[in-house]
Structure 1
Amino acid sequence: MDRIFSGVQPSGNLTLGNYLGAIRNWVKLQNDYECIFCVVDMHAITVWQDPESLRRATREVAAGMLASGVDPKRNIIFNQSSVSGHAELGWIFNCVARLGWLNRMTQFKEKAGKHKENASCGLYVYPNLMAADILLYKATHVPVGDDQKQHLELARDIAQKFNNDFGKEVFPLPDPMIFGTATRVMSLRDGTKKMSKSDPSEYSRIGMTDDADTIALKIRKAKTDPQPVPETVEACEDRAEAKNLMNIYAALSDLELKDVCAQYGGQSFADFKKALTEVAVDKLSPISQEMQRYMDDPAQVDAILHDGSERARALAEPVLKEVKEVVGFLQP
């Protein structure tokens, strides 16, 4: 069976974007693939994290997966730092990847901005660790959003260079899995920016722990324009906020954007927002309640992560041993 690896950073406050862009798709994939789902806490510390907040956020991401329907018995759910092979293979890939490759990574430029001299080295080599996450398990497929496609291409380049350098097909070249509507959920306050946990405005995002009243308030305050709901997909293209809300409705309702245009085109956004609120509350409230149940029982979450880390380690250790042998490291 093909193997999937995917991960989410524990930076706190899981959003609707995390759910629609990643976690919901994982629930669908678990029936057809061997799945490894990781809370990538080592990636999180590429920028400074408060230790207690990091622990709490790690449990929250795991709770979000579980509450959304990811089965911890059928799949492996664990936190990255609990399997040392990620760091070990990450270093080896630091010595395989080329500086020119990393210099082309647009996400580093976006995150570091004008202050790249003060950015951590970890933020710069982040894509090499991401490659290690995937290839440590010889994953064949990786669900990715638009913002991670470049990093997956780098992982494929690293795998190919490693195989070529040592004349042995150690790693597969993992294929991307790109999903449809709302793979990239945008801010409720600015339809040109991705919905983000770090946005200073609480009204820019819907959180997976938001209750029904909060969801309704945020949708009511979501930015739109004075025109009616677009009647065609083409008419959405220059109306970022309108398209974002319609994409969210489509994703939550398992529809295409064209279906939403046909159903609501020409109506006022006041009426459309009522419909969007209804479907969002219907889909998200049960998840929010279940997440809270898990968060109230951290020992249960920790036990699931511990079990997952042992299972992940059992898969990773033979791969790392093979890699060390190929590289030429003496091993006990």
Structure 2
Amino acid sequence: MPWGRWAWARGRVLAGCAVLTAGLLAFPGAVPGSPGRLGSLLDTFLPWLGLVIVLLTGLALLRRSAVALLALLLPTAAWTHLFAGLLLPGTASGPHGLVVVQHNVSDENTDPAGTAGSLAAAGPDLIALQELVPPALPVYVRTLAEDYPYHAVRGTVGLWSKHPLTGARPLDIRPRNVTEPWSRGLRAVVHTPYGEVAAYVAHLPSIRFGASGLASSRRDESAGLLGSALAAERLDRVILLGDLNGTVDDRGLAPLTSRTDGARRGFAFSYPAGLPLVRIDQVLARSARVDHIRALPATGSDHLPVAARVTLL
């Protein structure tokens, strides 16, 4: 059927779907958090609405619907504004640049030596690790010792550095209803050639999908405690590295993302390692700029490592 006046009469349902997609992209906060943390679920997969736009565009072309194609300009513009910049090539770090690596190494990792070697091969200044278990910890220490003479481990999280570390201490980010031993946060001062930086390493509680939706109350409580620690930090420059079990768009991480900035370039989906769909391993900074973030090759973990270039301001 040729394009003509009927092209404006067809595809009104598609046009409605396009407008709805644009609304979700532009105003995700309008989706309520309950029931089932529905808002956080939308936040987590917000970039993937780009696939919905592609699907709707294909259907609109098949239907030869001018009204649907015109309506699709709205979600396309919204997605471009939010995410297209992440696809651009990363810019070179400034003169006060650091390379950092963040990785949840998995407590079931059967090759800690290979994992440590792979991370060191990226040449970072800092390496932050989570899910360090006692049998594997000596392997990481031994493998990284030559290139990273300074390290601090508190509970199941650790930080390795090419630069001196001082003041390492645990962070209390344990949710109230967790009664078993639980130490997943640390703070240390990194003495870089460009001045002191407060480095935070954290592993927030996991979220779960169930019949009632997204269970994230523990994660959100832990994020609030970590956000309070960041607010109280006296050093201007802060780098937060961690498995935060949420994306930077997730409103549950607002206590962190409202106080720090994320990467300007790069998606770096890190989980699950076999088919990465989201980045829950984060590098966030204050009084510093995360210029670019990328995923590194798979290790023996169910997460991919991520590496970021950070410029201290």
Same fold (TM over 0.5): no
- Structure with greater proportional helix content: 1
Q: Which has the higher contact order (CA 8 A, sep 6+)?
A: 1
Q: Considering only CA atoms, is the larger Rg found in Structure 1 or Structure 2?
A: 2
- TM-score, with structure 2 as normaliser: 0.29
Q: TM-score, with normalisation over the residues of structure 1?
A: 0.28
User: Which structure shows the higher strand fraction?
Assistant: 2
